């Protein structure tokens, strides 16, 4: 119930307006969000780089509904690519298509993407397209395939809670597009997504293994050193990580054949554990003033976070 409530609140404009005006809300959100601008996020990214972590920076924003806001989001991404390059930060950039106007003006979105891809090409940096709710899964996959035809250093995200995901995995692997495997963070009806956690977990393991097995073919065709591995498993669920590590070991894969990704502010102990064991660990660092929906999704994932949020009222 709490999960559904917070996922509803993540999309409710009235709640966004209300909650973002409470000072304590930002105090609580800043556990998961690295700052309100890229300067603060880059400082944290460099610090984590020096500890050995790879980074994915996420300039927060989604469901943009004006041309000006979409252009501003693209400008932020382009500026971030420049700063990552100038400061030699080991990071790529994660973007959301709805932040670039996909939902109200596809032509605008594609022209902004071209601008971003040009900068990515110039700086040699990788762009990951985050996956949003199932109403735009098709468009996200189609657009990522189009992006790859312009600049090959792009990747996508697949959600194991969707029934369609196995077929999507084969579609993107055919195009040699690297995948970040996640469980899925949105509220989806049982017509499109597994309602039971056990099924989501089983599908996560199965799809991760399919992707990893495609690795050898992928490496032969694309050996660019800037390209991240074909598979990143993005989870804080240790059994998911252990299952993949076992599968990789039994099948002769090496530690560098895949990445483990986790979110900034969540399970720091696990992040350090797998880094110390010699696996590549990438931390996803969101930043920016549009932190509200991201923060609500993090509250939805874990009831304990709600108490943490409320405890900030009294601080
Ligand atoms: C790097 C990265 C990128 C992502 N990108 C996307 C994307 O593009 N699209 C998308 O739909 N989803 C994305 N997600 C979110 C993902 O779909 C899940 O919602 C999220 O990772 C929680 O699921 P879990 O795999 O950690 O497992 P769960 O079973 O939800 O959690 C396992 C354990 O992890 C810890 N944990 C999980 N979430 C939290 C939290 N919020 N606060 C504190 N502890 C927590 C708890 O200890 C929990 O018991 C991403 C996640 C990561 C790590």
What pLDDT sits at residue 221? 44
**CA dist list (Å): 112 to 77, 84, 108:** 10, 19, 6
Nearest CA residue ID for atom 25, ligand 1:
235
Q: Exposed, middle or buried, 165 (CB in 10 Å: 0-12/13-18/19+)?
A: buried
* Residue 103 pLDDT > 90: yes
If you average pLDDT over every residue of the chain, what do you get?
A: 92
* pLDDT tens per residue across span 270-310: 999 999 999 999 999 999 999 999 999 998 888 777 777 77
* pLDDT tens per residue across span 178-190: 999 999 999 999 9
Helix (H, G, I), strand (E, B) or coil at 258: strand
Nearest CA residue ID for atom 34, ligand 1:
236
* Residue 167 pLDDT > 50: yes
* Single pTM value for the model: 0.94
Q: How far is the CA of 183 from the centre of ligand 1 (A)?
A: 7
Provide the annotated active-site residues.
Answer: 130, 180
* Residue 73 pLDDT > 90: yes
The stretch 26-33 carries a mean pLDDT of 89
CA nearest 165: which of 196, 200, 130? 200
Nearest CA residue ID for atom 51, ligand 1:
234
The stretch 207-219 carries a mean pLDDT of 81
**To test the ligand 1 pocket, which listed residue (62, 237, 264, 307) has its Cβ within 8 A of the most ligand atoms?**
237
Pick the atom of ligand 1 nearest to 284's CA: 1
Which of the two residues, 215 and 239, has the higher pLDDT score? 239
Q: Exposed, middle or buried, 108 (CB in 10 Å: 0-12/13-18/19+)?
A: middle
CB within 6 Å of ligand 1 — which residues?
Answer: 130-131, 157, 159, 182-186, 234-237, 261-263, 266-267, 284, 298, 301-302, 305
Q: How far is the CA of 191 from the centre of ligand 1 (A)?
A: 22
**286: which strand partners?**
58
CA nearest 282: which of 194, 182, 168, 185? 182
**To test the ligand 1 pocket, which listed residue (10, 137, 301) has its Cβ within 8 A of the most ligand atoms?**
301
* pLDDT tens per residue across span 217-248: 555 445 454 578 999 999 999 999 999 999 99
Nearest CA residue ID for atom 30, ligand 1:
301
* Residue 92 pLDDT > 90: yes
Q: How far is the CA of 180 from the centre of ligand 1 (A)?
A: 12
Nearest CA residue ID for atom 46, ligand 1:
236
Angle at 60 between CA 58 and CA 66, to 5 degrees: 135
Q: How far is the CA of 102 from the centre of ligand 1 (A)?
A: 25
Q: How far is the CA of 221 from the centre of ligand 1 (A)?
A: 31
CATH of domain 50-280: 3.20.20.220
* Residue 312 pLDDT > 80: no
Q: Exposed, middle or buried, 116 (CB in 10 Å: 0-12/13-18/19+)?
A: buried
């Amino acid at each position: 119930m709490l999960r559904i409530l917070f996922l509803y609140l993540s999309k409710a404009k009235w709640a966004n307006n209300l909650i973002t005006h409470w000072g304590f809300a930002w105090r609580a959100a800043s556990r998961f969000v690295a700052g309100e601008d890229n300067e603060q996020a880059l400082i944290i990214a460099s610090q984590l780089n020096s500890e050995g972590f790879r980074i994915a920076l996420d300039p927060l924003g989604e469901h943009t509904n004006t041309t000006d806001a979409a252009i501003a989001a693209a400008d932020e991404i382009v500026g971030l690519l420049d700063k990552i390059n100038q400061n030699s930060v080991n990071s790529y950039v994660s973007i959301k298509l709805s932040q670039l106007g996909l939902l109200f003006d596809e032509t605008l979105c594609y022209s902004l993407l071209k601008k971003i891809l040009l900068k990515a090409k110039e700086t040699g940096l990788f762009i990951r397209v985050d996956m949003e709710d199932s109403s735009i899964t098709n468009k996200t996959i189609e657009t990522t395939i189009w992006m790859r035809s312009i600049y090959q250093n792009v990747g996508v995200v697949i959600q194991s809670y969707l029934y369609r995901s196995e077929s999507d995995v084969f579609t993107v692997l055919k195009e040699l597009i690297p995948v970040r495997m996640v469980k899925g963070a949105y509220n989806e009806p049982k017509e499109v997504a597994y309602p039971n956690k056990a099924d989501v977990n089983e599908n996560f393991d199965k799809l991760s293994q399919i992707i990893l097995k495609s690795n050898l073919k992928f490496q032969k065709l694309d050996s660019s050193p800037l390209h991240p591995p074909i598979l990143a498993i993005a989870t804080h669920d240790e059994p998911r990580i252990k299952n993949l590590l076992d599968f990789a070991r039994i099948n002769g894969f090496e530690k560098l054949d895949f990445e483990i990704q986790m979110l900034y502010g969540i399970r720091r102990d696990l992040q350090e554990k797998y880094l110390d064991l010699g696996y590549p660990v990438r931390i996803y660092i969101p930043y920016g003033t549009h932190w509200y929906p991201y923060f609500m999704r993090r509250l939805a994932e874990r009831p304990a976070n709600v108490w943490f949020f409320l405890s900030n009222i009294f601080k």
